[in-house]
Amino acid sequence: MKVCIPGNNKGSGGPNSFKRNLIKELINLGIDVDTGFSSTGIDVVLLVGGTRNINWLRKLRSSNIPVIQRLGPMNWLHQYESILNSHKWRSVVRNSILFRIRENFANHVIYQSEFCKTWWTDVKGQDKCGNTVIYNGVDTSLFNPETLQLSSEALRLISVEGNLAYTQQVYRTPVELTTLLKQKDINVELTLVGDIDSKGLREICNYDYVNYVGNIPHVSIREMLVTHDIFISGEINPACPNSPLEAMACGLPVVGFDTGALSELVLGGSGLCADYGANPWKLEKPDMNNLLNSTIKVNENLEYHSTKALQNIKNNFMLSNMAKEYVKVFKTLI
């Protein structure tokens, strides 16, 4: 079997990281992988998101080479941006490309989560082809709890996100939570990992219990995770976020608001998802007391939730199992 997974996969973003991990696992399974825009000598194409190379998709269709489209979230935050903002129009174009491929070229769609599948079908209707939900997986050779945690009297929280300021609530949620815990006389510290804008940086500099380390190499994230106790997810409507999975693979329970696919990942006592208490689609301010109560509950039985986090990854989100699920789909189309 020869699979084509086209595009540059050297970037640090989620889709590129996914492609690198999947390609590595497919090669381990003895499957040949082509990363160019090939239209001959291949059996199936996995398109991660979309491509502007519509002529290539037409060649594939005329050659009866099946195309599988992996879909995550739609772009949606641009609806809150000024009509003069270039990001708004890039988001509109990206959505249009994804819609067109799903409608006209995909022979099968793989959604990152049930949340993604419901979102797409609610907005664009049922798929014209078959579909499957396959969750992201974690490479436990890279993310694991084997390093001894540093002893500390403080409750150590951490939040990791590529862009902590894609909307302000992403970084404000863990910061406000930490402040509320301090007000409960809980000795607590917060580490923020990821990019942040100048406005957000000025805000978090006002808190001496917040340690902002910026954007660090992906290979260094594990070393950061294993020195903390609880992972705080500040994302709003995440499609299938990698950071909480990586945290659980390192033994950290996850606490966050029940939006997007987070509750599909935080299973079997591996953390808690709190009621948002407002409309996340309108970027309304959440009920932070709900998140506070969930964090306190997890902290009261931290060893139990840590053990459950590790079990959750082993049972449901191993990278090797994810790759095998993709291979099953490939074989149904060849």
Give rounded-to-5 percent helix, strand, coil for the chain.
45, 20, 40
Half-sphere exposure of 199 (CA within 13 A, CB side): 8
Note the maximum CA span of the chain. Answer: 67
Tokens encoding 221: 């994230």
> How confident is the prediction along the chain (334 residues), in pLDDT tens digits per residue?
999 999 876 655 678 889 999 999 999 999 999 999 988 999 999 999 989 999 999 999 999 999 999 999 988 887 776 666 777 878 888 989 999 999 999 999 999 999 999 999 999 999 889 999 999 999 999 999 976 555 678 999 999 998 888 889 999 999 999 999 999 999 999 999 999 999 999 999 999 999 999 999 988 999 999 999 999 999 999 999 999 999 999 999 999 999 999 999 999 999 999 999 999 999 999 999 999 999 999 999 999 999 999 999 999 999 999 999 999 999 999 8
Tokens encoding 162: 């590529």
Residue 148, pLDDT score: 53
CA distance 14 to 7: 14
Residue 46, pLDDT score: 97
**In CATH terms, are 2-137+318-333 and 155-316 the same topology?**
yes
Q: What is the pLDDT of residues 47-92, one digit of tens each?
A: 999 899 999 999 999 999 999 999 999 888 877 766 667 778 788 8
Which stretches of 112-266 are assigned E, i.e. beta strand?
130-133, 155-163, 188-195, 210-214, 230-233, 254-257
Q: Beginning with the edge strand found earlier in the chain, give each strand of the sheet holding 44-48 in spatial order.
A: 32-34, 2-4, 44-48, 67-71, 108-111, 130-133
CA distance 195 to 193: 7
CA distance 305 to 296: 12
Residue 90, pLDDT score: 84
Fold (CATH) for 155-316: Rossmann fold (3.40.50)
* CATH number for the domain whose boundaries are 2-137+318-333: 3.40.50.2000
Which stretches of the chain are assigned E, i.e. beta strand?
2-4, 32-34, 44-48, 67-71, 108-111, 130-133, 155-163, 188-195, 210-214, 230-233, 254-257, 271-274
CA distance 133 to 115: 10
Q: Is 236 helix (H, G, I), strand (E, B) or coil?
A: coil
Q: What is the pLDDT of residues 241-289, one digit of tens each?
A: 999 999 999 999 999 999 999 999 999 999 999 999 999 999 999 999 9
Domain edges within the chain = 2-137+318-333, 155-316
CA distances from 54 to 43, 111, 319 (A): 19, 21, 31
Residue 132, pLDDT score: 97
Residue 188, pLDDT score: 97
